[in-house]
Structure 1
Amino acid sequence: MSDRTAARLRVGHALTVTETGLAFVQDARRRGDVCRPLDWIPEIYHPLGSGEAVIPDALLYYRHGAEGDQDGTMLQAFVEVDRATTGPERLAAKIHAYARLHQYVPAPPPGARHRPAIQEPAREDWQRRYPLFPRLLFVLDGTGPAGIETRISALGAAARDVALAGSLRQVPALAAPMTDLLQHGPAAPVWRPVHNPDHRVGWMHSRHP
């Protein structure tokens, strides 16, 4: 792949990620919810140890309910925008990466094991940042209906891996075509749970897939 082609793909991806964020912001405004441009945060680094990391295309903060509404709910989601520039297996591998993030416990600093003071039990690194593990939203673009089905099937096959069953059992993992988000809005029931792709749900549905 030439540098010019790679640069064009990066720019196209960045534009689609921005378009996705605007769709959530505009949809929240129509619904009376709260999601501002700064609630769409691109590429936050989440370490997995040994120099590896999960870096979602964006982290979404979304308040379901008007600001100041005591009954409102703050939701968070990791958003991955896929433009079909790589094979479906590469997309499906991201499910495994998020399962590793869900399980990852940082190693104690050198010497910490020998300190006599009582220490807090080790916990997963994501719990330092989030009250609940964010939902996983896969936005699919750059391919037709057949390609969408192939990529959702690949995500579903990865999610059925027994190694992921415990890690992501209570984390909704949803996929939707970009065209549906733009036509109907992200809050519409255009999302397909990767565990059960025959269903259509809103992305704010129950945490139990």
Structure 2
Amino acid sequence: MLDVDAGSGDRLALAVLAQYRMTTTEQMHLMIAPDVRIEQTRRRLVKLRKEGLVDRITLPQAGRTRVWFATHYGAEVAAEWPELREWQPAKLGADRTAARLKVGHALTVTETGLAFVQDARRRGDVCRPLDWIPEVYQPLGGGEAVIPDAVLYYRRDLGGGQGWSMLRAFVEVDRATMGPERLASKIHAYQRLYEYVPAMAGRPRAGQEPPEEAWQRRYRRFPRLLFVLDGTGPTGVENRITALAAGASLTRPAFRANVPMLAASLTDILRDGPSAPVWRPLTAPEQQASWHA
């Protein structure tokens, strides 16, 4: 059983693994303890493994990289913590077989989240490890849902004593495992979410407020939509941005006006940082912009 008195580091490590699904040792180290030696992170993970809370697989094709994940028991423990209130308890941990089958996409999503966390540290903004929440269920009614690869919470320092801006984004990480048109169809799923209003039970009463969209119960404003593209060279990235821009052009004007939609190559994000003007607005793909502009 987890000894919380041993320090908050064990708790944070388990929370990150439960929420992110999978990390390498280096990703975990950079996420939770970049100012100490990586050996301390390795010892922490080995300790949690001995307690049955986490496990690992080894990727022989990647220099025997170790990939860590929460066990079913570890995920059950973490699911009770308030800091994981938006984490989906339906996916309680993994075993080695499940981890091997989804390791590629999971590690790419983790690498993307780590890029935002590190960028915030450099810029004096606020994006803590648990502000990147993979696979948050967004209901559409009738048993349907939109499940982004991650929801990002990011507090940006406006500088000059102007205060803070709270930003949110739905993030889709595409490793070129689907065709460009199928990727672009995700935009229309988000438009459905933007417009979806749950049906009210019974007849509306006089003076009753009109029902709000489902997403307004969780977000003040509809989060911007970010597509992170990986798995191909520049030509493949351009083909997918072209398809995404075509899909965006077919959405309704209100959605286009109120929901910023941008795409960027993961290579560019990792090289320049996500706050750099590496993003292409899908309504004007010839331009480059910062994601939080």
TM over 0.5: yes
Aligned to 1:91: 183
Q: How does 1:56-205 map to 2 (within 5 A)?
A: 56-65=148-157, 71-109=163-201, 112-113=202-203, 116=205, 118-161=207-250, 163-205=251-293
Aligned to 1:130, the other structure's residue is in SS state coil
2:135 to 33, 38, 43: 43
Bigger fraction of residues in helix: 2
Change (3 A) 1:8 1:196: farther
Seq. identity, %: 68
**Deviation (angstroms), 1:7:** 6.9
TM-score normalised per structure 1 = 0.88
Q: Write the deviation string for residues 118-142 of structure 1: whole angstroms up to 9, x where unpaired.
A: 4221121111111111010000000
**Deviation (angstroms), 1:94:** 0.6
Q: Write the deviation string for residues 98-148 of structure 1: whole angstroms up to 9, x where unpaired.
A: 111110000112xx21x6564221121111111111010000000111110
Change (3 A) 1:7 1:154: farther
Assess if the C-alpha contact under 8 Å between 2:261 and 2:282 holds in 1.
yes
Q: For 1:123 and 1:168, locate their aligned partners in 2 and report how far apart those are by CA, in whole Å.
A: 19
Assess if the C-alpha contact under 8 Å between 2:229 and 2:237 holds in 1.
yes
TM-score normalised per structure 2 = 0.63
| Structure 2: stretches of 5+ with no match in the other structure | 1-97
Aligned length: 195
| Structure 1: stretches of 5+ with no match in the other structure | 1-5
Mean alpha-carbon deviation: is it higher for 28-37 or for 120-129?
Answer: 120-129
| More contact order relative to length (CA 8 Å, sep ≥ 6) | 1
- Alpha-carbon RMSD: 1.9
Runs of 4+ residues over 6 Å off in structure 1: none
**Deviation (angstroms), 1:180:** 0.4
